[in-house]
Amino acid sequence: MTGRTIRQNGLKFATARRFEFGYAETEKNMAVKVIIPTPLRVYAAKKDSAEVSAQTVGEALGGLTAQFAELRKHLFTDDGKLRSFVNVYLNDEDIRYMAKEATPVKDGDVVSIVPSIAGGNAAPPNRRAQE
Amino acid sequence: MATKTQTLNGKPTVTSLSKEEILRYSRHLIMPEVGMEGQLKLKNAKVLLIGTGGLGAPLGLYLAAAGVGKLGLVDFDVVDFTNLQRQVTFGTSDVGKHKSEAARSRLSNLNPDIEIQSFETQLTSANALELFKDFDIVVDGTDNFPTRYLVNDACILLGKPNVYGSIFRFEGQATVFGMPEGPCYRCLYPEPPPPGLVPSCAEGGVLGVLPGIVGSIQAMETIKLILGSGDGLVGRLLLFDALGMKFRELKLRKNPDCPMCGNNRTIHQLIDYYEFCGVRGEEAPAPDLQVPEVTPRELKARLDRGDDLYILDVREPHEYQICNIQGHLLPLGELPRRVHELDSSREIVAHCRSGKRSAEAVDFLRKAGFRKIHNLKGGILAWSDEVDPSVPKY
C-alpha cells in the first residue's frame, strides 16, 4: 500500500511539474527491469530479464520489444494494444488497477509480465488430445 | 474405533480418533496449531483433486498422509512411462493402469483410515457440478486451459475454494481462488491465450521436481484452509522460479467487472470450455492451416527411389539429439531470419516431432514464396510408428 501511495504522489507531482514547466522540461527516463517469463524467453534470446529506460510501463514494454522484436506479437495486438491474456505488474501491483500502460515508473521498479500457464502434468500435448 | 455422531445437516461427523490414529497423527497432535481439534477438522474434510499427475502426486500423498478424511481423485488418463519422471505416486508396475485407480491404491496403502474415491472420468461441464458438490475444497492440478476455466467456474457457482497451481518448465504459480472475499481465475486471466501463441509442444517439458514443489504448496494451502489457520494465498499469486530459486508474490485483486464473480455476473452456468479456449486438440494443426502433406511411408518410398528431397527438421537442437532422421536442423523460431539458407527451387519436406510446428513452418515458407514444400504428416512420431521403429519416441 505504501508503494502505491508514493507512486500516486509521484504521479501528482509529475503532472504538476508538467503544468509548471510545460514542454521545456523533459522528464527523466527511469531505469526499469522487465522480467521475462519462461514461456516468452524463447522470443527474447533466452534472457530472463531486460533493463530498459522508460517513464511509463507502456514505454518499458516498448523498450523491451525494441530489444526483442519477436516478443511484440506475443504482447501486443496488431493495433498496438496489450493482449488481454498478458498480465503486467509494476512491482507487486496489477497495472489494470493503476493507470494501465500509462502507469509511471521510477528508478529501480520491476515490471513483470505474467502470462497464463496451464501445465500441471506436462504430458506431450498430442497424447492428451488423442485420449 | 472412531466414533461418529450426526450433525444438524445429517452428515456424519467424526468427533474422536482411534488409538491407531492418535499414534499415526501424533506429530500433528502435539503441535498446538493442529492438535486434536485440527486433526478432527482434517478427518472431517472432503477434498477433490482434479488430476492425479505431476501436481496431483504430492497433493494426494501429503493430504492422505495428513489424514484428510475423504479424498476424491479425478483423472481419465492411463499411467505411461513418461509420467514416472515426476508423478511419484506411480511405480513402474502401474504403467498401463488407470491413474485414478493406481493413485487410489497407493494412497489407501499409505493411509487405510481415510476414504478415497476414484473417478475414472474426464471432468466436463456435464459432470463437474455433480462431482464437486460432495466436497469442501477443490484442488486444481490439471494441465490445460479448458479444464482450469471449468474448475474455476464450477467452484464459483458452488461457492467452493479452488486451490490453484500451475507449472511451465522451471516456473510455477500458486494461489487460492474462489473464496468469498478473494478473486477468481477469471479475475486474473479473463480469457485464455489463443492456441499456439504460448508455446506448448516446442517449449514443453518440465523438470520433475517442480510439480513436486508447487503441488506441495497446494497441499499446504489446502490443509491451512481446512484448519482455518495461517495466512493463505487468497489475493496473492505466488510465483516460483526454480532455476533462479526465487519466490515472488503479486497482489491479486477481485475484478469488479469479472464475468464470473463480479458485481454484474454474465456467466450463470457452465459453458463449452473447449470452444471458449479455441482448443480442439492442441497438437492438431489449426483448421485454417491447410498445408500439403506427405505421409511417412510416401516419404520413405520417395527417398528409396532416390528423389532429391531436402529434409528440414524444425525442432530444437536438444530434440535433434534425442533422435533424428538426418534432416537439416533449422528450429521454427529461427526460420524467419534464416529463411535465406533454404533453396526454394528444391523440393522440401519439413518435419517436427508430431507435425504441428512443421505445419507452421510450411505455412510460413509458402507465404514466403516456397512452392515445392510438404509437411511430414505426424512428424517423427509417425515416422517411428510407420517406417522405422528404431527411432525413439519422446
**B389 Cβ contact list (under 8 Å, min separation 6):** none
Residue A5 pLDDT level (bands cut at 50, 70, 90): very low
Residue B197 pLDDT level (bands cut at 50, 70, 90): low
Q: Do B142 and A42 touch (CB under 8 A)?
A: no
Pick the CATH number of B293-386 from 3.40.250.10, 3.40.50.150, 3.40.50.11260, 3.40.640.10: 3.40.250.10
- A74 Cβ under 8 Å from any chain B Cβ: yes
Residue A121: list chain B partners with CB under 8 A: 51, 53-56, 87, 141-143, 211
Residue type, position A61, single letter: L
Distance CA B33, CA B202 (A): 45
Minimal Cα–Cα distance from B377 to chain A, Å? 13
Residue B82: list chain A partners with CB under 8 A: 123-124
Distance CA A113, CA B239 (A): 11
The pLDDT of residue B326: 94
Q: Is A37 helix (H, G, I), strand (E, B) or coil?
A: coil
Q: Do A39 and B168 touch (CB under 8 A)?
A: yes
B9-to-B71, B157, B234 alpha-carbon distances in Å:
21, 21, 28
Q: Do A120 and B211 touch (CB under 8 A)?
A: yes
Q: Do B166 and A119 touch (CB under 8 A)?
A: yes
Residue A124: list chain B partners with CB under 8 A: 82, 201, 204, 283, 353-354, 394
Average pLDDT of the segment spanning B241-266? 94
Domain with CATH 3.40.250.10 in chain B: 293-386
Residue type, position A122, single letter: A
Average pLDDT of the segment spanning B219-241? 96
Residue B4 pLDDT level (bands cut at 50, 70, 90): low
Radius of gyration of chain A, Cα coordinates, nearest whole angstrom: 17
Retrieve residue B70's grid coordinates. Answer: 475423504
Minimal Cα–Cα distance from A66 to chain B, Å? 16
Nearest CA in chain A to B381: A126
Nearest CA in chain B to A112: B250
Q: Do B54 and A122 touch (CB under 8 A)?
A: yes
Residue A74 pLDDT level (bands cut at 50, 70, 90): confident
Domain with CATH 3.40.50.720 in chain B: 45-277
pTM of the predicted model as reported, rounded to 2 decimal places? 0.80
Residue keyed to cell 479444464: B147
- A22 Cβ under 8 Å from any chain B Cβ: no
Q: Are strands B246-251 and B236-241 parallel, antiparallel or unpaired?
A: antiparallel
B67 within 8 A of B21, measured Cβ to Cβ? yes
Quick: pLDDT tens for B44-54. 999 999 999 99
Q: Can you spell out the DSSP letters for A100-118?
A: GGG-B--TT-EEEEEE---
pLDDT above 50: residue A131: no
B218 within 8 A of B164, measured Cβ to Cβ? yes
What domains are defined for chain A?
29-113 (3.10.20.30)
Nearest CA in chain A to B193: A85
Residue A80 pLDDT level (bands cut at 50, 70, 90): confident
- β-bridge partners, B257: none
Residue B206: list chain A partners with CB under 8 A: 119, 122
Radius of gyration of chain B, Cα coordinates, nearest whole angstrom: 25
Half-sphere exposure for A8 (CA within 13 Å, toward CB) = 8
Residue B211: list chain A partners with CB under 8 A: 120-122
- A114 Cβ under 8 Å from any chain B Cβ: yes
Pick the CATH number of B45-277 from 3.40.50.720, 3.30.565.10, 3.40.50.10490, 3.20.20.70: 3.40.50.720
Task: Choose among A48, A83, A112: nearest Cβ to B250.
Answer: A112
pLDDT above 80: residue B332: yes
Residue B77: list chain A partners with CB under 8 A: 123, 128, 131
Q: Do B198 and A117 touch (CB under 8 A)?
A: yes
The answer to which of B177-191, B197-211, B245-259, B278-292 has the lowest mean pLDDT is: B278-292
Burial A47-57 (b: 16+ CB within 10 A, else e): eebbebebbbb
Catalytic residues of B: 201, 352
- Which of B73, B198, B356 is the best residue to mutate to test the A interface, defined by the most A CB atoms within 10 Å of its own CB? B198
Distance CA B103, CA B235 (A): 31
Phi, psi angle pair for B236, to nearest 5°: -135, 135
Retrieve residue A103's grid coordinates. Answer: 502507469
Residue B298 pLDDT level (bands cut at 50, 70, 90): very high
The pLDDT of residue A14: 44
Q: Do B141 and A121 touch (CB under 8 A)?
A: yes
Average pLDDT of the segment spanning B268-290? 71
Centre a 10 Å sphere on the Cβ of residue A21 and count the other Cβ atoms it contains.
11
Q: Do A119 and B140 touch (CB under 8 A)?
A: no
pLDDT above 50: residue B169: yes
Residue B249: list chain A partners with CB under 8 A: 92
DSSP letter assigned to residue B261: T
**A78 Cβ contact list (under 8 Å, min separation 6):** none
Q: How many beta-carbon pairs below 8 A join chains A and B? A: 153
- Which of B79, B120, B171, B258 is the best residue to mutate to test the A interface, defined by the most A CB atoms within 10 Å of its own CB? B171
Average pLDDT, chain B: 91
Q: Do A120 and B55 touch (CB under 8 A)?
A: yes
Centre a 10 Å sphere on the Cβ of residue B392 and count the other Cβ atoms it contains.
9
The pLDDT of residue B118: 97
Task: Choose among B86, B193, B336: nearest Cβ to A115.
Answer: B193
Residue B328 pLDDT level (bands cut at 50, 70, 90): very high
Residue B171: list chain A partners with CB under 8 A: 37-39, 117
Retrieve residue A8's grid coordinates. Answer: 500516486
